Amino acid sequence: MEIFENQTSENYIIEKWLILLAVLVNFTGLLSPVWGVDANLYASISKTMVIENNYVELFSKGKDWLDKPHFPFWVVAIFFKLFGFKAWAYKLPAILFVMAGSFYTFLLAKTLYNKQVAYWAIIILLTAQHIVVSNNDVRAEPYLLGLIIASVYHFYLSYSKNNYTHLLFACFFTACAIMTKGVFAVIPVAGAIAGELIIKKQWKAIFNWRWVWALLLIAIFILPEIYCLYTQFDIHPEKIIFNTHNISGIKFFFWDSQFGRFFNTGPIKGSGEITFFLHTILWAFLPWSILWYLAVYNFFRKNWHNVQQTEWVCIGASLLMLFIFSVSKFQLPHYINILLPFFAITTAQYLYSVGQQKAIKSLQILQYVVIGLMVLVILVLNYFFEPQNFFSAYIALECVLFVALIVILKQKLYTVKKLVISCVMISFIVNIYLNLSFYPSLVKYESGTEIAFFINRNFAKNSQIYTSINNNSDALMFSLDKNLKLINLEKSNLNFKKPILFVGSATDIDNLKSKNLKIREIKTFSDFHITTLNASFINNQTRKNSLELKHLVWVY
């Protein structure tokens, strides 16, 4: 294992290869269809935007949609215009934003510490479990990840270097983050910069005209979002949104969408408990989660009485937002993604600072337990789920990775680099299994997507497909090459001039039969909400009990 010892500080050959492999593993997320309720909803909204050539208003199933701002939909719409309505065209821009965020993680870590910490930080980020998961189940968080870490980096240089070009970039990225998720995107940025300045008592830097200019620039950059909301909602008080009228899109954007959720006073409500993210981190930041907890403890133990000699940017960004997430009533695992770049830098710095052989040995034993548990989980998951997607190249690759991991673990050398490589290898093993075997089998139960693929292959001449207005039809709507028409089955009379293709549940079919319409079954599809897995579904022996059936039928 001389390769771990003889590397010069200038080459970082091992780190570069690990980063390349981590990037490739993340890009394997492009191989599966769009899955999950939210992802298909966002994809169908962007698809509608392109079809209607309307980039000002957001619509879902023909109705005005207010829940999220425009920025990610604009980005996806550009890729749809360039490449067509493909699943990979929906996922690709999100993965590119994660890659950009990884690059900015490297830049910030190198600025705050050194190049070794920077390389480890980008490796840790790209192999964190929920980063790879989110490049399959794409929502708004990949965009936020890239935008927020970029904002922090440029804001940090804007005041530390007194550079107004960096201030301009920082404000632009912050505005894009606000136009992705709302004004709460400012909190981790403010926590990073304000936390650093307040803890170090840099009052002159705090009370500086730079921040007034920053607010003005951000206000200017978010004007496109304000214009769109005003056009679609504020000048149309007659529209019924959230079951009421006189809804202001601008007020929702600045208050209800974020603060309203936080205080649970807005039209969209949630519930949660304060420890949710503390245990979510344990799996979302695997295989690095225990190391991050140790890193935070070690950071405060060493630096609390010597605040001037260290950086507080990463701790300020991550802990403030983590506290706000925890006390909020809205708690979803993917929220944590925007903090993972800061987690990665904190963890990388901790690993770099570990110098005692005894401490390194203890950390390696700890991580061996983590690695063993991750392997066990994958073996158990594979045993019970019985995925169908196995092929020789995949099996050969996994065997090579397992052999390499065993060789690395058997070395008696106690170095931080060995620990890092071991963790990276288990991340590769787990996520290649998930991306190339588990997820492709899992999405077979996304019935809307499967039905759309079946119709596209077998009913090319049918220009119109129907489903009930009450069905969750976003997956069907996005993946279908043809128009999808929503009909209200509660109407007393449904008159069709010719037979139609209809997609629905058993209840929908019974409803049609009760109206004296003739039904001929074409194919039945298994359906499950695959983003909310449970033991009954994972177990192949009991899976049928968890499934619903969706029917594709002719209606006469």
Give residue-wise pLDDT tens across range 302-334.
Answer: 877 777 778 888 998 898 888 888 877 667 777
Domain termination residue (choose one: 310, 333, 352): 352
Of residues 112 and 260, the one with the higher pLDDT is: 112
Domain termination residue (choose one: 444, 461, 491): 444
Q: What is the dihedral of CA 17, 113, 163, 314, to 10 degrees?
A: 90
Does residue 387 sit in the same domain as residue 332? no
Contact 155, 215 (CB under 8 A): no
Domain termination residue (choose one: 352, 375, 400): 352
Please state the rounded mean pLDDT for residues 59-74: 91
Residue 83 pLDDT greater than 90, yes or no: yes
Q: What is the pLDDT of residue 394?
A: 67
Q: What is the mean pLDDT of the chain?
A: 86
Domain for residue 294, yes or no? Answer: yes
Does residue 428 sit in the same domain as residue 284? no
Tell me how far apart the alpha carbons of residues 272 and 87 are, in angstroms, rounded to a whole number.
Answer: 32
Q: pLDDT band for position 7 (50/70/90)?
A: very low
- Per-residue b/e over 9-27, b at no fewer than 16 CB within 10 Å? eeebebbeebbebbeebbb
Per the structure, the complete domain to which residue 527 belongs is given by 446-555
Domain for residue 249, yes or no? Answer: yes
Domain for residue 531, yes or no? Answer: yes
Q: Give the three-state DSSP class for 136.
A: coil
Domain for residue 378, yes or no? Answer: yes
Residue 462 pLDDT greater than 70, yes or no: no
Q: Can you read off the two tokens belonging to residue 95?
A: 């993965």
Domain for residue 348, yes or no? Answer: yes
Highest-pLDDT range among 18-22, 222-226, 492-496:
222-226
Does residue 375 sit in the same domain as residue 517? no
Does residue 171 sit in the same domain as residue 278? yes
Q: What is the pLDDT of residue 1?
A: 34
Instruction: Please list, in sequence order, all residues whose beta carbon lies within 8 angstroms of the beta carbon of residue 85, skipping any fewer than 6 positions away.
Output: 47, 50, 478
- How far does Cα 218 stand from its chain's mean position? 24
Does residue 141 sit in the same domain as residue 158? yes
Angle at 54 between CA 52 and CA 56, to 5 degrees: 155
Domain for residue 26, yes or no? Answer: no
Does residue 407 sit in the same domain as residue 539? no
Q: What is the pLDDT of residue 69?
A: 93
Residue 277 pLDDT greater than 70, yes or no: yes
What single DSSP character describes residue 549?
A: E
Q: What is the pLDDT of residue 532?
A: 84
Does residue 483 sit in the same domain as residue 346? no
What percent of the chain lies above the pLDDT cut of 90? Answer: 40
Please state the rounded mean pLDDT for residues 66-95: 94
Please state the rounded mean pLDDT for residues 511-517: 83
Does residue 434 sit in the same domain as residue 515? no
Q: Can you read off the two tokens belonging to residue 326?
A: 């925890």
Closest CA to 262 of 314, 189, 187, 194: 187
Does residue 397 sit in the same domain as residue 504? no
Q: Please, where are the H alpha helices in 161-275?
A: 164-181, 186-199, 203-206, 209-221, 223-229, 249-251, 259-262
Does residue 362 sit in the same domain as residue 453? no
Q: pLDDT band for position 5 (50/70/90)?
A: very low
Domain for residue 11, yes or no? Answer: no
The 10s digit of each residue's pLDDT in 371-404 is: 889 989 988 998 898 887 666 566 767 677 777 7
Of residues 317 and 104, the one with the higher pLDDT is: 104
Residue 208 pLDDT greater than 90, yes or no: no
Does residue 261 sit in the same domain as residue 363? no
Q: How many domains does the chain have?
A: 3
Tell me how far apart the alpha carbons of residues 489 and 511 are, in angstroms, rounded to a whole number.
Answer: 7
Residue 3 pLDDT greater than 50, yes or no: no
Does residue 322 sit in the same domain as residue 365? no
Tell me how far apart the alpha carbons of residues 424 and 404 are, in angstroms, rounded to a whole number.
Answer: 11
Domain for residue 417, yes or no? Answer: yes
The 10s digit of each residue's pLDDT in 412-439 is: 666 888 888 889 989 998 998 898 888 8
- How far does Cα 232 stand from its chain's mean position? 27
Q: 211 vs 86, 173, 184, 270, 336, CA distance in Å?
A: 42, 15, 18, 34, 27
**What pTM was computed for the model?**
0.91
Please state the rounded mean pLDDT for residues 226-238: 89
